[in-house]
Chain A
Amino acid sequence: MNSKTSGAKNTETVKRGLAQMLKGGVIMDVVNAEQAKIAEDAGAAAVMALERVPADIRADGGVARMSDPEKILEIQESVTIPVMAKCRIGHFVEAELLQALGVDYVDESEVLTPADEEHHVAKSNFDVPFVCGCRNLGEALRRIGEGAAMMRTKGEAGTGDVVEAVRHMRHVMADVRKLQTMSADERPTFAKEISAPLALVEEVAELGRLPVVNFAAGGVATPADAALMMRLGADGVFVGSGIFKSGDPALRARAVVEATTNFEDPRKIAEVSRNLGEAMVGIANSSLQPEEMLAGRGW
């Protein structure tokens, strides 16, 4: 009846598996232990430990970097749910630090100022799993090719405007559907067109979806936003500034969690959307200058 304990760690199954456990859930940006506790009590499936939420990064300007390790440790101590943290695109040393701190997932994120404008982190070399942003299927498969074990849309973080997240999710899903209608001999050309590894293109054609979990992120501010992203095919939702930049974070957090679970039930979503207080103020995406858009970071 006894079995080995010395199992294989950090395998693809184990890395992708944690993301599968987060499905149907909400991952919330938090900047301290108090917020992390509020998020956990409201039903968050995980938290993203940050020094500043994207709305503040946008407002403050300057270079946005990995959080102070002290903050991350404080958040890890305060909750039992998984704790994720962000490193800059291409900053493999920040990623190594986060791994050394024992975070459960590293987000190589366009929300921080990129450290490398040409290269992403070689994620397969790490024990810790990575989540990355994408705008379309090609970008998703490039990141998965580098070792990402989970994807999310980039959206446009810190705006409270869901339009870019919708654009990116629709783009990914449309690419997948297009690929499924192709004959085998058309796939290599498609792989070339979207600059994605052919093996992964073949895998998507076979599965009819990405080989890893794909969440929505970037501009989700209301329960209805979260449900919209689920209806478009997201496996779950990241909420950044939308919760702790709103009038009543605890109430809104729980409402977003419930809307994500009941995304196909408008009556329940209407119920949880009542009297939530003020949503984050928000910035309409159409008012942003191209250089103010974060989604263009990475390739």
Chain B
Amino acid sequence: MSALIGVLALQGDFAEHVQVLDAVGGRARQVRDANQLEGLDGLIIPGGESTTIGMLMERYDLDGPIRDLAKHGMPIWGTCAGLILMACDVGRQQPLLELINISVERNAFGRQLESFEVSVDIEGISGGGFPAVFIRAPRVVSVGDDVEVLARLDDGSIVAVRQKNLLGTAFHPELTCDLRLHRYFVGMTEAV
């Protein structure tokens, strides 16, 4: 049986993640309440607005159960807003999961006019640069000892990290046709 991956479907581009998961042969389940977390092999927190997703996550009591699953080793991957929500600190008051030992700067590259795409080399992803789409994107400004930096931009900005079962990317692999990072994440769920 292929891995069953939950995609948090409160707001954002969760449908795009579901589509890519289908393409890599994973089974996807949209998650809107805590019951739907049961039986998952992994969870993706998609792009969107972190303030909206965070507010709804608390409202539906998803934050506690997700923290428990993370503690028990379930692979969780946040893209953009998802990375923000997994961070321990974002420099302002907003609901966070505080899973990965990193500080994140929101809208670090500026407003939409500064959004960009660029090829990024990612540790553990072979086959050349990854087409990374940054939309009003965050960047990681500091990492704890247990956090592995997987990718940086030329200016040194950290844009992909891993802390054991937890993966975070500041960009959106779900907006491209490149399936490698989703395969990598499905691989993480199979290794558990």
Chain A residues within 8 Å of B, Cβ to Cβ:
1-11, 13-14, 17-18, 20-25, 40-46, 80-82, 99, 102-105, 127-129, 257-258, 260-262, 265
Q: How far is the CA of A14 from the CA of B12 in the complex (A)?
A: 15
The listed residue (A14, A260, A261) touching B133 by CB distance below 8 A is A14
- Report chain B residues within 8 Å CB of A127: 113
In this complex, what residue of A is CB-closest to B120?
A3
User: In the complex the two chains form, is A17's CB within 8 Å of B175's CB?
Assistant: yes
Please judge, given known A-B contacts A2-B153, A21-B47, A45-B49, whether A8 and B12 are in contact too, CB under 8 Å.
Answer: no
| Stretch with Cβ within 8 A of A (4 or more), from B51-59, B161-169, B179-187 | B51-59
Within 8 A of A (CB), among B115-139: 115-121, 123, 129, 132-136
Task: Give the shortest distance, in Å, between B148 (CB) and chain A (any CB).
Answer: 11
Please judge, given known A-B contacts A18-B135, A20-B175, whether A4 and B11 are in contact too, CB under 8 Å.
Answer: no
User: In the complex the two chains form, is A23's CB within 8 Å of B12's CB?
Assistant: yes
The listed residue (B56, B112, B116, B153) touching A128 by CB distance below 8 A is B112
- Report chain B residues within 8 Å CB of A23: 11-15, 48
Name which of B111, B154, B176 has the most chain A CB atoms within 10 A of its CB.
B111
- Report chain A residues within 8 Å CB of B38: none
Known contacts A3-B119, A25-B52, A265-B32; can you find 20 more A-B pairs with CB under 8 A?
Answer: A1-B149, A2-B154, A4-B154, A6-B118, A8-B116, A8-B118, A14-B115, A14-B117, A18-B136, A20-B47, A21-B47, A22-B49, A24-B48, A45-B49, A80-B51, A81-B52, A102-B111, A127-B113, A257-B52, A257-B56
User: In the complex the two chains form, is B107's CB within 8 Å of A80's CB?
Assistant: yes
User: In the complex the two chains form, is B51's CB within 8 Å of A40's CB?
Assistant: yes
Q: How far is the CA of A14 from the CA of B151 in the complex (A)?
A: 20
Q: How far is the CA of A7 from the CA of B113 in the complex (A)?
A: 12
User: In the complex the two chains form, is B10's CB within 8 Å of A24's CB?
Assistant: yes
Please judge, given known A-B contacts A23-B11, A24-B9, whether A17 and B32 are in contact too, CB under 8 Å.
Answer: no
Chain B residues within 8 Å of A, Cβ to Cβ:
9-16, 32, 47-49, 51-52, 55-56, 59, 80-81, 92, 106-107, 110-121, 123, 129, 132-136, 149, 151-155, 157, 172, 175-176
- Report chain A residues within 8 Å CB of B121: 1-3
User: In the complex the two chains form, is B117's CB within 8 Å of A8's CB?
Assistant: yes
- Report chain B residues within 8 Å CB of A17: 115, 133, 135, 172, 175
- Report chain A residues within 8 Å CB of B118: 3-8
The listed residue (B13, B133, B154) touching A5 by CB distance below 8 A is B154
